[in-house]
Amino acid sequence: MSLLVLHDDNLLEIAGKLNLRGISVLRKVNQRLRNLLDLRPPINNFTKISIGGRIYYPRTQVIYESATGTETILYDDKDQAGRDFELNIRYQKGLVNEFSIDFQDAEDPVVEKIHETLKSRNKKLRVKDILMQGNVQQKLFEFLPFLDPTSLKMIATFKSKGNEMQQLDDNCMQLEQWNSAEEFFSGCTFESSACFSRLLNFRQVNIWVNEIRLEDVLLLRKPSLSNPLFRYVYFYFTVFPELDEFLRLLGNSLADLTNNIVAKYFRIPNSTDVLLIRISRNCCYFCRSPEAKRFAGWELIEDIGTKMNLLDLTDDDLLVIAGKLDLRGITNLCKVNQRLRNLIDLRPPTNNFASISLLASVGYTIVRFRSPFERVSNVYQTDDQNCQINLNTLVRQDFREVCCRDFELNIRYQKGVLNYLHVDLKAENLVFEKICQILRSRNRKLQATGFTVMLDNLPKVFEILQLLDPNTLKRIGILWFEEVTMSISSLDEYEQLEQWRNAEELDYKIRLESSECFHRFLHFRNVTIRVDTLYLKDLLMLRDAFLANPQIQKFKSYFLKFPELQESMDLLGMEKDSEDLEEDKFSEMYFRIPNSSDVLAIGVCLNFFKFVRLVVAEKYAGKNVIEDIGEVGFFQR
């Protein structure tokens, strides 16, 4: 059979499952395939890309990592390595968490091809961390303009050998990528501290410097005192001629460095933050910490004779600060005055949480927000008619009201799709009602891929489920905190919801009366449910559904009673008595599905039955697969 007799859709399905080399080979078949792949290209979603020609020189090593695995390719042909990189990066759609380029020769043909590829893209490549190693670090400022400045967070350069000096481009401060990044690390040595003036926009800096000048070190005072987002600058040095003068300004002398590290702690004006300046014989550290209580017991210099006012900043500077504050910080900033409230309402920051979890119990509520870059957990609890948030106390405020205000503010700025929303509010009706009110007030339904809920009655589950976007919801988990049995008719209300009908996976941990409800779950791909009584006739109905519909992948059911268990095992050909079944040890049979390469696995253990469609049948080579189900009694009933 010729590949070219297939329809375009079939060819694209094949292309979508090929590996990286396979796509490249497929394009070479003929012009029709090249045009088809250009018109409707497959999509890559690499999370990490590493390309280097140093470790395996003269060969080129390329590593692509994604959520589904890692692929490593070694090329002898540099031109082929460059062409494949161009092809694969053309189809990249998501954020690359780490992009590493490691070449000893900055003029390597592969390096040139990488640069040409990035330059030719219609949209700048979205990269979180860029790492340049070897002599290719000299080309850092040739690559930066072609990376998306809104995603770039860290810039790092490293040397492989030799004494090459790190150079900063004269125009680096004009690059949006340079100004928007938050971290800069360099394993190369800077000639002098004159570079400090070009690094003041970063929150975190770690570098090596040959010669330090005091006037450059004093530049570090401004960001560390005036920028609440500043974290640290750490620099190693070879020569510091004015070290004794710097120590004198700190109130110490060179003698103090003989066997010790000098560390000074200063209270930052109009703030609870502390500035730590630490110095030794060959390194210096400026660090701003928001956790002032960590330094209790240290000698803290309260008055440094410097004043600053947050409101002296421009709107743009205030919005930069607001965009990088944590969740509680946004709330507190809104409380400063009307100008800040209006500014944040007019130009709100945006959140891109990957998951949100709410857990409420008597006397406390825990809210967890996770994003690709941070994890924040706030514990709200009552403290003698006050609200305590983590270690902070808000006088005469109800912890539930404060929790809901914070949630409302943060969910208002949510822009992306949540991977996971977990709600456990079984013991707190007031919080539940407020959360529903917040979700109901949104202009658009909250987008979430997965939703898990634990509540104390089904109407509450129905109420919150209908507030989620049905177009994005794929997984539903419904948990119950009491051992009760619900009637099958309790499902009637769910079946009216588009969210229920569109989802693909269901974990329903509320026990139902019997397996006579099984037919109401067959639109899901994966199902886990619990029933009081399991009947053979309903397993036969599942059998027919699995044989007819390749979209159904798994159906699992816990049961308390199964009157026909032994009969079912005998029909399946299991050479075991039902009394011998163990709790976690399955007895399984494998059957080839007619007119398909797939395998149907049917397994049973104590109080648990499962049907699983195995799409990759080759994986089960060596298993005792029954090829002709016509010989099995279970398939003849």
Q: Which of 38-42, 112-116, 633-637 has the lowest mean pLDDT?
A: 38-42
E strand map for 60-203: 60-66, 69-75, 96-102, 127-133, 154-158, 165-166, 183-192
Place of tokens 């020569």: 239
Q: What local confidence, expressed as pLDDT, does residue 342 receive?
A: 78
Do both 29 and 163 map to the same domain? yes
Is 252 a member of any domain? no
Higher pLDDT, 240 or 106: 240
Do both 39 and 186 map to the same domain? yes
What are 209's strand-pairing partners?
190, 237
Q: How many CB atoms lie under 10 A from the CB of residue 403?
A: 26
Stated as kind and residue range, the H or E segment containing 480 is strand 475-480
User: Which of 505, 506, 513, 548 minimizes the C-alpha distance to 532?
Assistant: 513
pLDDT digits (tens, 9 = 90+) for 355-412: 999 888 888 888 888 876 667 777 888 877 778 877 677 777 888 888 888 888 778 7
Q: What local confidence, expressed as pLDDT, does residue 335 receive?
A: 65
Is 246 a member of any domain? no
Do both 470 and 531 map to the same domain? no
Q: What local confidence, expressed as pLDDT, does residue 501 receive?
A: 92
Is 286 a member of any domain? no
Q: Is residue 287 scored above 80 in pLDDT?
A: yes
292 band by pLDDT with thresholds 50, 70 and 90? low
The pTM for the full model equals 0.51
| Domain termination site, one of 456, 486, 510 | 510
Domain total in the chain: 3
Distance CA 131, CA 503 (A): 40
Do both 38 and 126 map to the same domain? yes
Is 301 a member of any domain? no
Q: Which residues contact 203 (CB under 8 A, 6 or more apart)?
A: 182, 183, 229, 230, 231
Is 266 a member of any domain? no
Domain with 585, as residue range(s), is 526-636
Distance CA 500, CA 492 (A): 11
Do both 355 and 461 map to the same domain? yes
- For Cα atoms 476, 479, 485, give the angle at the middle one, nearest 5 degrees: 120
Phi, psi of 7 (to 5 degrees): -70, 160
Is 557 a member of any domain? yes
**Average confidence (pLDDT) over 288-297:** 64
Do both 491 and 438 map to the same domain? yes
Report residue 23 as tokens: 């796509």
Distance CA 587, CA 606 (A): 10
What are 239's strand-pairing partners?
211
Q: Which residues contact 591 (CB under 8 A, 6 or more apart)?
A: 599, 600, 601, 602, 625, 626, 629, 632, 635
Do both 543 and 506 map to the same domain? no
pLDDT digits (tens, 9 = 90+) for 191-200: 889 889 889 8
Do both 388 and 537 map to the same domain? no
User: Which of 150, 191, 197 minimizes the C-alpha distance to 170?
Assistant: 197
Distance CA 489, CA 303 (A): 71
| Domain termination site, one of 241, 270, 299 | 241
Q: Which of 312-316, 506-510, 625-629 has the lowest mean pLDDT?
A: 312-316
What are 127's strand-pairing partners?
96
What is the sign, positive or negative, of the torsion defined by CA atoms of 167, 172, 176, 180? positive
Do both 549 and 470 map to the same domain? no
Q: What local confidence, expressed as pLDDT, does residue 310 receive?
A: 57
- For Cα atoms 228, 233, 239, give the angle at the middle one, nearest 5 degrees: 150
Do both 177 and 201 map to the same domain? yes
Q: What's at 512, amino acid-wise?
A: L
Report residue 487 as tokens: 């009637």
Is 147 a member of any domain? yes
| Domain termination site, one of 205, 226, 241 | 241
Q: Which of 337-341, 484-488, 520-524, 614-618 has the lowest mean pLDDT?
A: 614-618
Do both 24 and 107 map to the same domain? yes
Do both 481 and 615 map to the same domain? no
183-192/154-158 β-pairing: parallel
**Cβ-based burial of 89 (10 A; exposed 0-12, middle 13-18, buried ≥19):** buried
**Cβ-based burial of 316 (10 A; exposed 0-12, middle 13-18, buried ≥19):** exposed
